[in-house]
Chain A
Amino acid sequence: MSGKLYLARNKSVAARLLGDEMMLMSGKDSTLFSLNPVASIIWNAADGATPLDEIVASRICPEFDIEAEEALRDAETFARELAGHGILQVSDEPIARPASTQQEPK
């Protein structure tokens, strides 16, 4: 990855934690996704202000036995895939959130 990548949850996405899986439904086409625990951490941390490398370093690597470089590569692939479905916004600059900020899903 060449530079910083910032992620923000799309406000029209439905999301809920069910057991250890995060369920997401795209507001665009009602496609349903289920995220594993690592992907759920990225989703929850996607506040538009924290860069992806920091999310990986501070919240994924300490919890899962994985190298930072490999984790970051996987995380970026995941983020761009969700962005393709309109679930996440991805930018190389911090993403401003609307005044009515979406709450982190339970």
Chain B
Amino acid sequence: MSMLMLDMTDKALKLRVPFTVQLDLTYRCNERCVHCYLDHDDHGEMNTAEIKKLLKELADAGVFILVLSGGEIMLRKDIFEILEYARELTFCIKLKTNAMLIGDHEADRIRELGVESVQVSIYSHRAEVHDAITKVQGSLERSVKAIRFLKSKGLKVIIANVLMKQSAQDYPGVQALAKELGVEATLDPTVTPMMDGDRGNLALNIDENALREVFRDTGLVADVDKFCAVPEKAGDDTLDFIPCSAGHSAAYVSPYGDVYPCVQFPLPSGNVRQKKFIDIWNYSDELNEVRSIRVRDLPNCSACGNITTCTRCPGLAYMEGNMRGPSTQDCEKSYARTGIESVNLQKKKAGASAGLVQIRGLGGNSTLVNIQAVAAMGEGASA
């Protein structure tokens, strides 16, 4: 990110302007990725007129970066009408897509409409692995072909690669593919829980050893010693920081008009079908609660040795049950980086070491054998 962009983001934060908004146009999708956090049925997505009305409200609210995502955005028949209107409103437009429906003609139009970048999900350079994740035969070939179209028009393309158990060894291949295509590649080692709270897909997360290897890969990390160093102790300035830009200068809107602090932070804060976006942004109790939180208000994390470098996501913490609590996935990432175990991980381990079988009295002579400790240990090992 350029220094000017950092300055602008900082200024937006101080002015409390929603600088970046992700709008999911649909949850429908032509892939069925094994790790996806969405329900792909259409429960009443906004129509063209509603989307246009919202875009105008977002522009009026000061939104600069508009991320259009899904589901698969190209499944919307009005996608180019939406893009044309977004262009008229002078957004910086970024698209997230699997690109399977982007051919030469679509790539031309996307270029004409001044889209800043197109992010395409690629999980492996091997078709048998990628296609098994998307559950669509031929999907890698189609996505790569679309990337070539987009690139040939001069568009900036970014490959997004989510690391999972089944693709953990393939990220160097994806990086090489990106290089061959002349595009950027990003790597995300975090599988997000389902938006309905189901955490079953977290079993797909790569394990601790794989994480440790990724964080020490000199092909990915410029200065491994610095990146994995024991963090500096938190000073007062760190404790006064906000934990994340979600709800401060960033927001998310679902295809049904629900406003959340972030796509990964499903705290319902209002609906644009009932209220103007700016009124939700300014006056929502939920967003104001998110904004009130500083690092020092996080009971476990504020005293953690990793606090100055941890990528703790308040949305993942919220999905674990407490927006002020720890995000176990980030505790594990920090541990893999620095070797410092968070209080949260220590507690989980202590809970797990209580034994596989616990017996507590139910009054009289009866006993209940439960498997709580087994569940706790399983969660700690898989996430």
Contact = CB atoms under 8 A, between A and B. Distances in A.
Interface in A1-31: 11-19, 21, 23, 25, 27, 30
A100 B83 CA distance: 13
B88 A14 contact: no
A34 B114 contact: no
Given A14-B91, A23-B64, A34 B116 contact: no
B5 interface: yes
B249 to A, nearest CB: 10
Interface residues of A, number: 23
Nearest to A25: B92
Given A18-B17, A25-B116, A11 B87 contact: yes
A102 interface: yes
A23 B92 CA distance: 10
Interface in A51-68: none
Interface stretch (B8-16, B227-235, B373-381): B8-16
B84 interface: yes
Given A34-B4, A106-B62, A14 B92 contact: yes
A30 B117 contact: yes
B60 A106 contact: yes
B356 interface: no
B116 A14 contact: yes
Contacts of B19: 18
Contacts of A25: 92, 116
Nearest to A28: B154
B90 interface: yes
Interface string B87-123: 1111111000000000000000000011011000000
Contact of B88 (A16, A21, A33, A102): A102
A14 B64 contact: yes
A13 B90 contact: yes
A31 to B, nearest CB: 8
Nearest to A12: B114
Contacts of B366: none
Interface residues of B, number: 28
Given A25-B92, A34-B4, A100-B88, A16 B114 contact: no
A36 B90 CA distance: 18
Contact of B64 (A12, A18, A30): A18
B67 to A, nearest CB: 13
Interface in A84-106: 100-103, 105-106
A16 B4 CA distance: 14
A1 B2 CA distance: 35
B84 A18 contact: no
B246 interface: no
Given A25-B92, A32-B4, A32-B5, A17 B62 contact: yes
Interface of B: 2, 4-5, 7-8, 11-12, 15, 17, 19, 59-60, 62-64, 84, 87-93, 113-114, 116-117, 156
Interface of A: 11-19, 21, 23, 25, 27, 30, 32-34, 100-103, 105-106
29 contacts: A12-B87, A12-B113, A14-B90, A14-B91, A14-B92, A14-B93, A14-B114, A16-B63, A16-B91, A18-B8, A18-B11, A18-B17, A18-B62, A21-B11, A23-B64, A27-B114, A30-B117, A32-B5, A32-B8, A33-B4, A34-B4, A34-B7, A100-B84, A102-B87, A103-B88, A103-B89, A105-B90, A106-B59, A106-B62
Given A18-B64, A32-B5, A103-B89, 5 more contacts: A11-B87, A14-B93, A18-B62, A32-B2, A33-B4
